A and B are shown apart, each in its own frame.
Chain A
Amino acid sequence: MAWTINDAVYQVRQIVQDTRSTSYRHPTEKIIGYINNAINDARRLRPDLFVGSGTASTWDPVPIYSIADINLEFPIDPQYFTAVVNYAAGWLGLEDDEFANNGRAVTLFQRFAAQLVSKGV
């Protein structure tokens, strides 16, 4: 079964410990927005991830997701799923004033870049 955008949102909430479904600290729309940012930055760092699988087309356009798209399939190769999750969790960590852990956020951003352009995890 393929990953979905919802799977990414779920894992982001796990990392920032925002798992109480009756009172989320972060609205789902906002997390999806950060996932969009992650995908756009991935497009900048790794354009090859968006090469179309067909032999006639060269590029898949970069998608922009909304809450209505939450059950759509994750748009890039599954081996980069965690990179996108890390990026979105990093942004949430940066904006979280009360329980901020800036060191963790920076680590998550670094992991995003390392996962995309090197053999780092």
Chain B
Amino acid sequence: MAMVSSDIWADELTVALPGATKPAIQQAFRATFREFCTQSGAWVRELPLIDIVAGQDTYPLDSKVSDASILYILVAYLRTVSGEDDHYRALKALQTPFHRTRQKGTSGYPRAFYSVTEAPATLVLTPVPAENIEDGLQVYVALGPKFPYEDEVPEFLRSHAYDVLLDGTLGRMMGQQDKPYTNTIGAQYYLRRFRGGIAQQRDMARRQYTSAESSFIFPPWAR
């Protein structure tokens, strides 16, 4: 993933925030970027295919990503190969411990998955897979900045969410009290734009940056 320096934003923000220092702007930008990633889930990555191992239900994903931290698992597919055809079946995401206990079992293919609450980048399959499946797991995750920060941002956000991050940082800075750049009305204005930008980016990411209205396709007999 190509990354760009956050200085691109910091340099422009310096003009709009008289009296602000660059380290303070960078700090606000980091918080804004983190909030943007968490709220929008717009930084999406398809992880390399994972081998499913018979009898192993837990698959840590952290090692699959080196330049970011995994915020949450968006979707996981069970991938099977039949002849020359790949088949993908979406695994159902489970959310409550109650469901998890009901899904215990060791027979057949996994049908669902859940994440470990205190280690969200850990995927647990259920039922426990009964056989090895090479490259059997395809996972999409939402990413956020890693710690410690390196003040780098995915390049696609420069072209697709430049103003959103600009607005968020401006609002965050202007909302601070007793600074030369304090501006409560400006903070409300820019944070409102930021929230709108987050919603738009979330929507765009879910549609894979296409203009599709929805994933539904009319069957041939109904066209």
Confirm or deny: B24 has a beta carbon within 8 angstroms of a beta carbon on chain A: yes
Q: Is the interface of A mostly helix, strand, loop or mixed?
A: loop
Give the residues in chain B near A46, CB-CB below 8 Å. 179
Give the chain A neighbours of B213 by CB distance below 8 A.
Answer: none
The segment from B68-76, B84-92, B145-153 that touches chain A is B145-153
Least CB separation from B148: chain A residue: A56
Cβ-neighbour of B180 out of A52, A53, A58, A117 (below 8 A): A117
Interface size on B, residues (CB 8 A): 18
Q: Does A79 interact with chain B (Cβ within 8 Å)? A: yes
Contacts A48-B24, A118-B180 given; does A79 touch B148 at CB 8 Å: no
List residues 136-155 of chain B with CB under 8 A from any CB of chain A: 148-151
**A119 near B: Cβ within 8 Å?**
yes
> Which chain A residues lie closer than 8 Å to B24 at the CB level?
48-49, 51
For B178, list chain A residues within 8 Å (CB). 45, 117
Q: Provide the bound-state CA to CA distance between A76 and B19, in Å.
A: 12
Do residues B21 and A77 form an inter-chain contact, with CB atoms below 8 A?
A: yes
What 1/0 mask marks residues of chain A from 26 to 56 whose CB sits below 8 Å from any chain B CB? 0000000000000000000110110111011
CB closest chain-A residue, reference B177 = A117
Considering the complex, give the chain A residue whose CB is closest to the CB of B21.
Answer: A77
Closest chain B residue to A113, Cβ basis: B178
**Alpha-carbon distance between A48 and B21 when the two chains are bound, in angstroms:** 8
Query: Is B27 a contact of A119 with CB atoms below 8 Å?
Result: no
Asked if A48 contacts B179 (CB within 8 A), the reply is yes
Give bound CA distance, A117 to B179, whole Å: 5
- Contacts known (A55-B149, A55-B150); A49 close to B21, Cβ less than 8 A: yes
Is there an interface contact between B21 and A119, defined as CB atoms closer than 8 Å?
Answer: no
Contact status of A53 and B150, CB under 8 A, knowing A46-B179, A48-B179, A119-B180: no
Residue contact B21 to A55, C-beta cutoff 8 Å: no
B window 147-168: CB within 8 A of A = 148-151
Which of B20, B23, B179 sits near A52, CB closer than 8 Å? B23
In whole angstroms, what is the CA distance A15 to B27 when docked?
Answer: 36
CA distance A76 to B6 in the complex (A): 22
* B207 touches A (CB below 8 Å): no
B151 contact from A55, A58, A117, Cβ within 8 A: A55
Of residues 89 to 141 in B, which have CB atoms within 8 Å of A's CB atoms?
none
Instruction: Contact check, B148 vs A55: say whether CB atoms are below 8 A apart.
Output: yes
The smallest beta-carbon distance between B75 and chain A, in angstroms, is 31
Cα A52 to Cα B18 in complex, Å, equals 19
Given the known inter-chain contacts A45-B178, A48-B179, A117-B179, please indicate yes or no for A53 contacting B148, CB distance below 8 A: no
B22 at the interface (CB under 8 A from A): yes
For the complex of A and B, the 8 pairs showing the least CB-CB separation, nearest first, are A48-B24, A55-B149, A51-B23, A56-B148, A77-B21, A117-B178, A53-B23, A119-B180
A residues adjacent to B (C-beta < 8 A): 45-46, 48-49, 51-53, 55-56, 58, 76-77, 79, 116-119
